A and B are shown apart, each in its own frame.
Chain A
Amino acid sequence: MYAIFRKELADHLESKRFAILFILATLAAVFAVLLAVQNIRGAVTSSSEFVFLKIFTISSEPLPFFLFFISIFIPIIGIALGFDAVNSERTSGNLSRLLSQPIYRDSIINGKFLASLAVLSFMVVSVIAIVGGLGLRIIGVPPNSEEVLRLVAFALTSIIYGGFWVALAILFSVSFDRAATSMLVSLALWIFFFLFASMIAEAIANARVPLDQNSSLEMFARNIEIQRMVSRISPCNLYGEAIVALLTPEIASLNPALMMISVTVAGKMLTPLNFGQSLLLIWPQVVSIVALAAICFAISYIRFIKQEIRAI
Chain B
Amino acid sequence: MGQVVIETKDLSKTYDGFTAVDKLNLHIEEGEIFGFLGPNGAGKTTTILMLLGLTEPSSGTIQVCGYNPDREPLEVKRIVGYLPEKVGFYEDLTARQNLEYTAELNNLPRGEAQERISNLLSTVGLSQVSDQEVRKLSRGMKQRLGIADIWVKDPKLVFLDEPTSGIDPEGIEDILNLTANMAKRGMTVVFCSHQLHQVQRICTRVGILAKGHLVAEGQIDGLGRQAIAGGRYRIEAQVGQVHQELIDAIKRMGGVTEVQDSGDSLLISCNKDLRKQISKLIVESDNSLLGMRIEEYSLEAIYKKVLS
Which residues of A approach B to under 8 Å, CB–CB? 3-4, 7, 11, 14, 92-94, 96-104, 308-312
The contact string, 1 if C-beta is below 8 Å from chain A, for chain B 77-104, is 1101110111111111000000001101
- Give the Cβ gap from A5 to chain B, nearest Cβ, in Å: 11
| Cβ-based interface call for B189 (8 A) | no
Residues of B within 8 A of A96 (CB): 54, 82, 84
A123 to B152, CA, bound (A): 36
Q: Is the CB of A311 within 8 A of B46?
A: yes
Residues of A within 8 A of B54 (CB): 96, 99-100, 309
A270 to B98, CA, bound (A): 61
**Known contacts A97-B82, A97-B149, A101-B105; A309/B90 CB under 8 A:** no
Residues of B within 8 A of A310 (CB): 15, 46, 49, 55
Residues of A within 8 A of B146 (CB): 97
Residues of B within 8 A of A309 (CB): 49, 54-55
Which residues of B approach A to under 8 Å, CB–CB? 15, 20, 43-46, 49, 52, 54-56, 74-75, 77-78, 80-82, 84-92, 101-102, 104-107, 146, 149, 153
Q: Is the CB of A92 within 8 A of B88?
A: yes
Residue among B44, B55, B89, B106 making CB contact with A94, cutoff 8 Å? B89
A309 to B55, CA, bound (A): 6
Residue among B56, B81, B90 making CB contact with A100, cutoff 8 Å? B81
Q: Is the CB of B87 within 8 A of A97?
A: yes
Residues of A within 8 A of B87 (CB): 93, 97
Residue among B45, B55, B74 making CB contact with A308, cutoff 8 Å? B55
Q: Is the CB of A100 within 8 A of B80?
A: yes
Q: Is the CB of B49 within 8 A of A311?
A: yes
A301 to B184, CA, bound (A): 42
Q: Interface SS of chain B: helix, strand, loop or mixed?
A: mixed
Residues of A within 8 A of B91 (CB): 92
Residues of B within 8 A of A101 (CB): 77, 102, 105-106, 153
**Known contacts A309-B49, A309-B55; A100/B77 CB under 8 A:** yes
Residues of A within 8 A of B153 (CB): 101-102
Residue among B84, B92, B106 making CB contact with A102, cutoff 8 Å? B106
Q: Is the CB of A102 within 8 A of B105?
A: yes
Residue among B15, B20, B86 making CB contact with A312, cutoff 8 Å? B86
Residues of B within 8 A of A14 (CB): 92
- Give the Cβ gap from A111 to chain B, nearest Cβ, in Å: 10
Residues of B within 8 A of A104 (CB): 74
Residues of B within 8 A of A94 (CB): 88-90
A264 to B165, CA, bound (A): 79
Residues of A within 8 A of B43 (CB): 311
Residue among A97, A99, A311 making CB contact with B20, cutoff 8 Å? A311
**Known contacts A97-B82, A97-B84, A100-B52; A311/B92 CB under 8 A:** no
A102 to B81, CA, bound (A): 10
Nearest B residue (CB) for A311: B45
Offer 19 A-B interface pairs, CB within 8 angstroms, sorted by A: A3-B101, A11-B90, A92-B90, A92-B91, A93-B84, A97-B82, A97-B89, A97-B146, A97-B149, A100-B81, A101-B106, A101-B153, A102-B105, A103-B74, A309-B55, A310-B15, A310-B55, A311-B20, A312-B45
Nearest B residue (CB) for A15: B92
Nearest A residue (CB) for B20: A311
A17 to B11, CA, bound (A): 46
A312 to B44, CA, bound (A): 11
A99 to B88, CA, bound (A): 13
Q: Is the CB of B101 within 8 A of A7?
A: yes
Residues of B within 8 A of A11 (CB): 90, 92
Residues of A within 8 A of B49 (CB): 309-311
Q: Is the CB of B92 within 8 A of A3?
A: no
A11 to B98, CA, bound (A): 12
Residues of A within 8 A of B92 (CB): 11, 14
Knowing that A97-B88, A103-B74 are A-B contacts, what are 18 other residue pairs whose CB atoms are under 8 Å apart, sorted by A's residue number?
A3-B104, A7-B101, A11-B90, A93-B86, A93-B88, A96-B82, A97-B82, A101-B77, A101-B102, A101-B105, A101-B153, A102-B77, A102-B105, A102-B107, A309-B54, A311-B20, A311-B45, A312-B85
Residues of A within 8 A of B55 (CB): 308-310
Residues of B within 8 A of A7 (CB): 101, 104
A96 to B88, CA, bound (A): 9
Which of A4, A94, A312 has the most chain B CB atoms inside 10 A of its CB?
A94
- Give the Cβ gap from A311 to chain B, nearest Cβ, in Å: 3
- The 4 lowest CB-CB distance pairs between A and B, nearest first, are A93-B88, A311-B45, A100-B82, A92-B88
Nearest A residue (CB) for B87: A93
Residues of B within 8 A of A3 (CB): 101, 104-105
Nearest B residue (CB) for A100: B82
- Give the Cβ gap from B122 to chain A, nearest Cβ, in Å: 22
Residues of A within 8 A of B106 (CB): 101-102
Q: Is the CB of B105 within 8 A of A4?
A: yes
A210 to B78, CA, bound (A): 68
A309 to B48, CA, bound (A): 11
Residues of B within 8 A of A102 (CB): 74-75, 77-78, 105-107, 153
- Give the Cβ gap from A179 to chain B, nearest Cβ, in Å: 14
